[in-house]
């Protein structure tokens, strides 16, 4: 009786071995990514003892009702899951109702060349500067500045944005905004 013919390097072709290893490797990576994402969500929800739908307040710049209005910025607010955390005061301010860590972000977009650098400042009353970003006056016709960082805020803190620019130079709506979320 004659021995069966063996394929090169064993009974399984090399290409099939490689394909099986690749599939197993990618499946393992996918499973690890899913586990790590779920673990961080569970850890955060346990650590902060908050619901997964945490407070998020976002304001888009309203078109100024008065031409050439400077400094006063009015916002169209969207507050999601913010009862007991944050409330709006008029269209200019956010008031913190629960002390804690909040991530504050802001962005402004210039729509035309300006004579001076444009500056966005985030304040907490009474006139305590939390953050300041400066954009160029030169370069592209349009310019953008933004920031985002965490802050510890106390109950009763009143936040607002101010700029050194004529609002006619700034894009309204979802092009210029600020907001915060509870972390």
For the chain, give the mean pLDDT. 78
Interatomic CA distance for residues 33 and 149, integer angstroms: 26
- The mean pLDDT of 67-85, rounded to a whole number, is 78
Return the bridge partners of 109, or none: 144
φ, ψ of residue 108 to 5 degrees: the values are -125, 145
The pLDDT value recorded for residue 98 is: 93
Q: 72 falls in which pLDDT band (50, 70, 90)? A: low
With a cut of 70, say whether residue 6 has pLDDT above it.
no
3-state secondary structure of 171: coil
**Do residues 154 and 96 touch, judged by C-beta distance below 8 A?**
yes
Cα dihedral 54, 123, 72, 96, rounded to 10, equals: 30
With a cut of 70, say whether residue 45 has pLDDT above it.
no
């Amino acid at each position: 009786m004659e021995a069966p013919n063996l394929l090169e390097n064993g009974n399984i072709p090399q290409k099939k071995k490689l394909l099986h290893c690749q599939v197993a490797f990618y499946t393992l990576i996918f499973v690890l990514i899913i586990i790590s994402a779920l673990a961080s969500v569970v850890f955060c929800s346990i650590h902060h003892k908050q619901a997964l739908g945490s407070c998020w307040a976002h304001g888009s710049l309203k078109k100024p009702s008065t031409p050439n209005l400077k400094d006063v910025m009015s916002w169209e607010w969207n507050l999601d899951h913010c009862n007991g955390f944050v409330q709006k005061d008029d269209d200019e301010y956010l008031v913190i109702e629960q002390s804690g860590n909040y991530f504050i972000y802001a962005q402004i977009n210039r729509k035309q060349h300006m004579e001076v650098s444009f500056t966005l400042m985030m304040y907490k009353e009474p006139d305590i500067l939390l953050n300041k970003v400066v954009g160029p006056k030169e370069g592209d016709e349009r310019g953008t500045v933004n920031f985002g960082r965490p802050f510890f805020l106390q109950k009763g803190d009143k936040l607002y944005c101010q700029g050194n620019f004529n609002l006619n130079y700034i894009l309204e709506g979802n092009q210029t905004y600020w907001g915060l979320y509870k972390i």
